Amino acid sequence: MRKQFAKKAVLLSSLFLFTAFLTQPAAAEENEPEPVTLTVELEDVNAIHSIKAQLIELKVDETLYPELKENINIEESELILEGLDISKLGIQDVMVHFTMKVNTLKSDLLFNNVITEKIRIQVVDTTAPTIVLKYEHITMDFEEVLDPMEWIESILDNSREEMKEVQADMSSLDNTTPGDYQITYTATDVNGNTGKAILNVTVKPKKVAYSNYGTSSDSITAMLNLMNSKRAEAGLNPLSLGDANAQAAIGVRACEAAENVSHTRPDGRHYKTAFDDYGVTYSSPYEILTYSGSTVQDKFDWWMSSSSHRADILRASSTKVAIGYCGKMWAAIVYE
């Protein structure tokens, strides 16, 4: 009888301990603190590094381990994540195994360098799209109609989705007034982030058409022959007449100089910009002007009587010349 009672007591005791063991985790779960929450950017290629840095910041107590953080080698520390998808926005519960690599650790310092626990990671998108333009600066003709979207090379965004909105603000651009302007581009992604880019635009002056010059003019041919005759005497190669664009440009310069005798253009620019306006390829340009005389020979003789103008005509490295006139004003640009 006594033996049966003892066996029954042991059985009841064992049952109590087993029940307590089973109910203990439930109580622990009720008291278990909320997992720490970390934040990473959508599709962030550096997400692993970011999570490591955040874990170190949250888990390493500098009051207990002074100067420990700066001795943790974040690159060599090993991080294993179970269940994280950084291509999806929102909160995700993830099991993390993080083994911190400490460069220098005192032998008397007791530090648990391994973290194994469930954490909460919030994937967010706060990254603005990047607008890539074909050029930083473009030049457009006077009164040219510009399509701003033509100058966008690409738009990059971590969401990898189509932009919600792409706009180009051209409100400051006046294609009827020569000068420098800016076009402001904005791109907004599906999560409301907006990126910007600036395109610098220069509006060229209006091309002025003049009828009193041309490549077929006998007077211009006569001037070219006089120049090359003197160059031959000096043992220099002849100059060839510029193409139609160069001739158009020098015609403009002749008429500009007829109104104001100067190597500076009426809008304050260098004379060589006349070539730029007409798309002429050139190097080392030298301009000569004259009002003197009434015949081609008179004009040429005046140029040759001036040491600086003579030097420009007989410049050895020059290979081309653009020649034009407007009324009594003659202009030429010798160039390579």
Per-residue pLDDT of 9-66, as tens digits, reads: 433 333 333 333 333 444 444 566 788 899 999 999 999 999 999 999 998 887 777 7
Per-residue pLDDT of 270-324, as tens digits, reads: 999 999 989 999 999 999 999 999 899 999 999 999 999 999 999 999 999 999 9
- Does residue 228 contact residue 214 with C-beta atoms inside 8 Å? no
pTM above 0.85, yes or no: no
Distance between the two ends of the chain, CA-based, in angstroms?
A: 126
Rounded to whole angstroms, what are the CA distances from 259 to 17, 220, 254? Answer: 111, 21, 9
**How big is the CA angle at 124 (ends 121 and 125), to the nearest 5 degrees?**
160
Q: Which of 129, 130, 167, 163 is closest to 148 using CA atoms? A: 167
